[in-house]
Amino acid sequence: MSRGKIYVTDYEYATLEPERMEVEKLGFELVPKQCRTEDDVIRECKDAVALLDQYAPITRKVMEHLPNLRAVGRYGVGVNTVDLEAATENGVCVLNVPDYCQDEVSNHTFSLLLACARKLPVLFDQVQAGEWDYKVSKPISRLRGQTLGLVGFGRIPRMVAEKAKAFSVHVIAYDPYVSRAEAELLGVQLVSLDALLETADLISIHVPLTKDTHHLISVDQLKRMKPTAILVNTSRGQLVDEKALCRALKDGRLAGAGLDVTECEPLEAGSELRGIPNVIITPHAAWYSEEAERELKTKNARNTAEVAAGFDNPAIVNHAVRGKVCLQIRS
């Protein structure tokens, strides 16, 4: 007899077999849905004991209408689709997968930095148009000796820092939750956000999206950057004010941008970002490799099913919920 239903609220994957295997090991039934709104989730997942969520909004209203809900597992590192405060108040454990795709995202980040710095799109477009003249890319500066500023210094930016050293790039970082001593052990200097923006030649964003970090990079921050600076974002699109970014790029107050994420995804057909020659945009692909996808799906399903079965799990992000629910330590 099933212990209950774990719903996949929405998904883009070709198969859910990894999830099904993990969920069924613990006696649950996996039920796939394609919900887009909170009302969709309420209607389609009303008897859920747990949810595996990709993009569907898991709001206070959703949780208040799902009386059996014990856990929400988010496909990814960020949990911005889930109302954490409401989850804690309702005794719902929220989980993420914090340790997947680190190599993929750090590689993609550095790929965007290099492509922007070497102006590869401009050169490629010119060759495709039948021309052959390196001077269209002028000026390009030598990477060695430049300063890379990491906004956030968690797992992924630490890997970016490690890879940057192979190019003899100096690395600085801003992260109010990391100690100066911890950063220095890794050969990275901690600075204020303003100092980073004013100093760095290359800037890469690696912070979660919260109320406090929405439009963390906007008009005032862009004004502080060097006109020769390059901005890369592989975290969340809403961290950057796109209208302000477009103005800075078009006015020549920023040399280029590499974006794997945008404020609206998919990027709207009429977006100002389209057609700006010094911008590279990829479709939220930094996380992807076959190995990372399998790891994400397997870990999310396994951890969420364990919590739904009453076991504690280190992937729970709303730690205060432990004071509202009784979770056992799994032997």
For 264-306, write each residue's pLDDT tens digit.
999 999 999 998 999 999 999 999 999 999 999 999 999 999 9
Q: What is the mean pLDDT of the chain?
A: 97
Predicted confidence (pLDDT) at residue 153 exceeds the cutoff of 70: yes
Selected catalytic residue, list 162, 284, 295, 322: 284
Same fold, 5-100+290-323 and 102-281: yes
Q: Give 179-232 pLDDT, tens digit per residue.
A: 999 999 999 999 999 999 999 999 999 999 999 999 999 999 999 999 999 999
Preceding amide of 139 cis, omega within 30: yes
The ranges assigned to domains in the chain are 5-100+290-323, 102-281
Query: Rounded to whole angstroms, how far apart are CA atoms 164 and 207?
Result: 19
Q: How many helices (H) and strands (E) does the chain have?
A: 12, 12
Query: Would you call 89 a catalytic residue per the annotation?
Result: no
Neighbours of 199 (CB within 10 A): 18
The residue assigned the tokens 């729970």 is 316
Q: Give 223-249 pLDDT, tens digit per residue.
A: 999 999 999 999 999 999 999 999 999
Are 204 and 150 contacting, i.e. CB atoms less than 8 angstroms apart? Answer: yes
Architecture of the domain defined by 5-100+290-323: 3-Layer(aba) Sandwich (3.40)
Selected catalytic residue, list 19, 236, 242, 306: 236
Selected catalytic residue, list 265, 274, 291, 294: 265
Q: What is the pLDDT of residue 266?
A: 95
Architecture of the domain defined by 102-281: 3-Layer(aba) Sandwich (3.40)
Q: pTM score, two decimals? A: 0.91
28 contact partners, CB below 8 Å, separation of at least 6: 2, 3, 4, 5, 6, 49, 50, 305, 308, 309
Q: What is the pLDDT of residue 1?
A: 67
CB-side neighbour CA atoms (13 Å) of 103: 6
104 contact partners, CB below 8 Å, separation of at least 6: 286, 287, 288, 289, 292
Query: Would you call 284 a catalytic residue per the annotation?
Result: yes
Query: Would you call 206 a catalytic residue per the annotation?
Result: no
Q: What is the pLDDT of residue 289?
A: 98
